[in-house]
């Protein structure tokens, strides 16, 4: 039978009621939040598409595993279970848990920076990765292909490294000044876009040629592996696990926010292929930062749930349905003429708000204006990824202009149905019909750093 979507490979055994508010209620709730959905209570949100991080639904196997948590401070049985699973998936020698992705970053990145004037190069640094690179005293440079910024046109791997630019940057800065190359898979910031296996092999060759450490920021590595299987002919008969193993074999270090492809509510991983010296440094440094190396800020039960979730996220029928939900929402919007990052990536639909609301200048935050209108329309909470998030130049204090103004509709794992996605699509389409009436935003209160989390805004009359 010809269906418009891939039905879920699970059924529902526990439900969490959510309630719709009235439009009048949402008008005053949004005003109270300072026109910043980060300040809304989740109870006042009907469909929450702020993030796919820690918001997925656990399986009954994960809930059962929670009961087996060993809460010992040192040498917990749950740690050894998690370590075994992570070793099987990566084939790496050393595994240390962390409380989440940024916890892993704050432990590992400073170990790679031993003096001033160093750089990390990534296809695109995620915000917290960039922050930890800078806190460690290094600079973060992005190096993604140009097609990534051309939202309308198809490219199968918009997360790919721009290989010529990568070589140029290394030559310009000097190979001894590059602390590491970070492959972010999938490339979250520009649409959850995948990186091809071919591109990753080329990056590896460059890293080897210049003797540079290669890291994977792999919060969504399983979703990336599924795209490789779908879009690179040579991999169509390989399993997701085989593809993931081939990717891990390329790198020296794998950092993971396990709140994504670990399908857990909390958790992170530091995986080191074979560098015993680095492992020893991280094992020492993690104690004051996250906790003893056999728990790294997690409870025993968190580690149990994560050990199960890591394996579930590699199941092909799960991934097929997961990525189809994103595709389904993207297609509905595209069919209505709405500009999105195309093709859709792994975890979200990114609406191109430069094109959606071209009359709103970048420093009046077009994607925030569109997102707020979507909340007013149907109680759906998207998140802005554009100039509002980017902030100001630290030297000139001028608003930085983001190359893309995106509204991210982020889909939690195994949480919403296609019917929910229909509500989301209808709301965005309705806002699109009335897009000319959208207005920009200005600050009531602007915090000095990471302003998008707590800023208060008002619509410009």
Catalytic residue at 452?
yes
Using CB under 6 A as the binding rule, whether residue 129 contacts ligand F0G is answered as yes
Minimum CB separation of residue 181 from ligand F0G in Å reads 15
Listed residue (117, 119, 140, 116) closest to 128, CA to CA: 140
Catalytic residue at 219?
yes
Minimum CB separation of residue 151 from ligand F0G in Å reads 18
Catalytic residue at 252?
no
Catalytic residue at 127?
yes
Residue whose CB is less far from ligand F0G, 69 or 101: 101
Exactly one of 21, 39, 51, 415 binds ligand F0G (CB under 6 A); that residue is 51
Residue whose CB is less far from ligand F0G, 111 or 123: 123
Please state, in angstroms and as integers, the Cα–Cα distance from residue 310 to each residue in 83, 90, 166, 294, 347, following that order.
Answer: 11, 11, 32, 18, 16
Listed residue (166, 168, 123, 158) closest to 142, CA to CA: 123
For residues 176-215, which are near ligand F0G according to CB under 6 A? Answer: 184, 188
Exactly one of 36, 128, 151, 196 binds ligand F0G (CB under 6 A); that residue is 128
Q: Are 186 and 176 in contact (CB under 8 A)?
A: no
Q: How many alpha carbons fall within 13 Å on the CB side of residue 167?
A: 9
| Residue of minimal Cβ distance to ligand F0G | 101
Catalytic residue at 150?
no
Exactly one of 65, 133, 148, 219 binds ligand F0G (CB under 6 A); that residue is 219
Using CB under 6 A as the binding rule, whether residue 264 contacts ligand F0G is answered as no
Residue whose CB is less far from ligand F0G, 229 or 408: 408
Catalytic residue among 219, 222, 425, 455: 219
Using CB under 6 A as the binding rule, whether residue 102 contacts ligand F0G is answered as yes
DSSP state of 50: S
Q: Tell me the Cα Rg of the chain.
A: 22
Q: What H or E segment, with its residue span, contains residue 80?
A: helix 77-90
Catalytic residue among 217, 252, 261, 302: 217
Q: Are 267 and 258 in contact (CB under 8 A)?
A: yes
Angstrom distance (rounded) from CA 305 to CA 13: 18
Q: Are 268 and 97 in contact (CB under 8 A)?
A: yes
Catalytic residue among 260, 273, 332, 354: 260
DSSP state of 345: -
Residue whose CB is less far from ligand F0G, 100 or 402: 100
Listed residue (47, 53, 128) closest to 371, CA to CA: 47
Q: Are 65 and 305 in contact (CB under 8 A)?
A: yes
Catalytic residue among 57, 127, 140, 155: 127
Using CB under 6 A as the binding rule, whether residue 268 contacts ligand F0G is answered as yes
Catalytic residue at 260?
yes
Q: Contacts with ligand F0G: how many residues (CB under 6 A)?
A: 15
Q: Are strands 348-352 and 406-410 parallel, antiparallel or unpaired?
A: antiparallel
Residue whose CB is less far from ligand F0G, 325 or 364: 325
Q: Where are the alpha helices (DSSP H) in 143-220?
A: 163-173, 197-210
Minimum CB separation of residue 53 from ligand F0G in Å reads 4
Minimum CB separation of residue 394 from ligand F0G in Å reads 22
Minimum CB separation of residue 170 from ligand F0G in Å reads 22
Catalytic residue among 92, 94, 126, 157: 126
Q: How many alpha carbons fall within 13 Å on the CB side of residue 28?
A: 4
Residue whose CB is less far from ligand F0G, 103 or 343: 103
Catalytic residue at 285?
no
Using CB under 6 A as the binding rule, whether residue 257 contacts ligand F0G is answered as yes
Using CB under 6 A as the binding rule, whether residue 420 contacts ligand F0G is answered as no
Catalytic residue among 7, 23, 64, 73: 73
- DSSP letters, 265-331, are SS-EEEEESS-HHHHHHHHHHHHHHT--TTTTT--HHHHHHHHHHHHHTT-HHHHHHHHHHHHHHHH
Residues that bind ligand F0G in the complex, under the rule CB under 6 A: 51, 53, 100-102, 126, 128-129, 184, 188, 217, 219, 257, 259, 268
Q: Which residues are catalytic?
A: 73, 126-127, 217, 219, 260, 452
């Amino acid at each position: 039978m010809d269906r418009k979507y891939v039905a879920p490979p699970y059924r529902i055994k526990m439900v969490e009621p959510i309630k719709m508010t009235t439009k009048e209620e949402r008008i005053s709730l949004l005003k109270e939040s300072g026109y910043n959905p980060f300040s809304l209570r989740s109870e006042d949100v009907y469909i929450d598409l702020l993030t796919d991080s820690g918001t997925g639904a656990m399986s009954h196997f994960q809930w059962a595993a929670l009961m087996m948590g060993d809460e010992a401070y040192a040498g917990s049985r749950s740690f050894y279970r998690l370590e075994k699973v992570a070793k099987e998936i990566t084939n790496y020698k050393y595994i240390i848990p962390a409380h989440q992705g940024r916890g892993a970053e704050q432990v590992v990145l400073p170990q790679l920076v031993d003096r001033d004037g160093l750089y990390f190069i990534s296809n695109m640094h995620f915000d917290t990765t960039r922050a930890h690179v800078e806190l460690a005293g290094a600079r973060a440079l992005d190096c993604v292909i140009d097609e990534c910024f051309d939202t309308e046109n198809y490219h199968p791997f918009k997360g790919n490294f721009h290989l010529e630019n990568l070589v140029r940057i290394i030559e310009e800065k000097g190979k001894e000044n590059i602390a590491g190359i970070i492959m972010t898979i999938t490339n979250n910031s520009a649409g959850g876009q995948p990186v091809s296996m071919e591109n990753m092999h080329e990056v590896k060759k460059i890293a080897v040629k210049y003797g540079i450490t290669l890291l994977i920021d792999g919060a969504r590595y399983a979703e990336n592996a599924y795209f490789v299987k779908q879009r690179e002919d040579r991999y169509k008969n390989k399993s997701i696990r085989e593809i993931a193993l081939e990717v891990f074999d390329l790198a020296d270090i794998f950092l993971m926010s396990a709140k994504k492809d670990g399908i857990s509510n909390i958790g992170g991983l530091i995986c080191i292929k074979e560098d015993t010296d680095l492992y020893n440094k991280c094992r020492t440094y993690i104690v004051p930062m996250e906790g003893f190396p056999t728990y790294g800020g997690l409870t025993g039960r968190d580690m149990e749930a994560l050990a199960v979730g890591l394996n579930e996220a590699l199941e092909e029928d799960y991934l097929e349905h997961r990525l189809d939900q994103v595709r389904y929402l993207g297609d509905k919007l595209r069919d209505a003429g709405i500009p999105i990052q195309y093709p859709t990536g792994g975890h979200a639909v990114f609406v191109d708000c430069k094109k959606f609301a071209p009359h709103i200048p970048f420093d009046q935050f077009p994607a925030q204006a569109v997102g707020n209108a979507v909340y007013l329309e149907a109680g759906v909470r998207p998140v802005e990824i554009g100039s509002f998030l980017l902030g100001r130049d630290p030297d000139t204090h001028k608003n930085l202009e983001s190359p893309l103004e995106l509204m991210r509709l982020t889909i939690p794992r195994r949480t919403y149905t296609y019917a929910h996605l229909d509500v989301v699509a209808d709301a965005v389409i309705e806002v699109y019909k009335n897009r000319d009436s959208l207005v920009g935003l200005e600050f009531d209160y602007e915090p000095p750093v990471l302003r998008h989390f707590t800023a208060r805004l008002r619509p410009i009359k």
